Amino acid sequence: MNDLSTNHPSPEKRAFNQPVSTLGKEVFWFIAWLERRVRTNSRVGATPFFEESLFPWTTDFKSEWREVLAEANAVLAQRKRLPAFQDISSDVGYISQDDQWKTFMLLGYGIRSEKNLQSCPATARSLQKIPGVRTAFFSILEPGKRLPPHRGPYNGVLRLHLGLVIPEQPEKCWLRVASEHRHWQPGEVLIFDDALNHEVHNDTNDIRIVLFVDFLRPCRWPINWLNRFVVFAARYSPLVQDARRNQENWERKFYKPDSP
């Protein structure tokens, strides 16, 4: 667990043991090659968790966290109508199959959910303060929910969690990345490398809500340009386009004029 390289499985393993075409294998190997270049050209280093001081914009980003919390609580009032994450993005179905991990999507790979953003103006303003923001949503873990060990698809983005509704027993609600464990705190951020092996436990009787954000990882030239291209191109992949359609279908039902 202490060797970060052990948390970067082969491209084939990331395909969840599904058969892939020759072109698909080439794409996977290209991403694996690029991940190695991203790690060695990262302007903020390559660690499980990152210090806030590396990202000076976090102070301004957190300044409206109580307004963001109020909007998250307003969303939570519609808790039963919120989608399970895998109902929007099917690729998370291998780590969660129930309805205990819910989401309220704001941005997905740069694709905006305009109605959701309009309903959360303080959150939308806060997101504008993050350079290279690509994905953002309220991530809601129900009591007792666990996300097993897994890794994200690509290390060209970093992940940020802004603590909003946090259980009172931090020792029972935690995030592990590689060999390091952290706990969320209201109004504070955790920034970490989602492409490392990680897991989440909420072993409490309370709900946990964070604002979940992915943003472009700062890299040296020319890897920064190649990284930007790959991350921006991902929005046109079949997987992301399928998630976009799922989100649009959910929004049509959620915002129907006769909805309760």
Please answer whether residues 149 and 194 qualify as being in contact, where contact means their C-beta atoms are separated by less than 8 angstroms. Answer: no
State residue 130's pLDDT score.
98
Indicate if the alpha-carbon torsion angle 160, 26, 43, 233 is positive or negative. Answer: negative
- Residue 21 pLDDT: 55
| Predicted pLDDT at 18 | 45
What pLDDT does 4 receive? 46
pLDDT tens digits for range 96-126:
989 999 999 999 999 999 999 999 999 999 9
Low-confidence ranges of the chain (pLDDT < 50): 1-19
| Per-residue pLDDT at 93 | 86
pLDDT of 225 reads 97
pLDDT for 6 equals 39
Q: Please give the pLDDT value at position 257.
A: 77
Closest CA to 139 of 196, 49, 76, 205: 76
Domains, the chain:
48-216+231-254 (2.60.120.330)
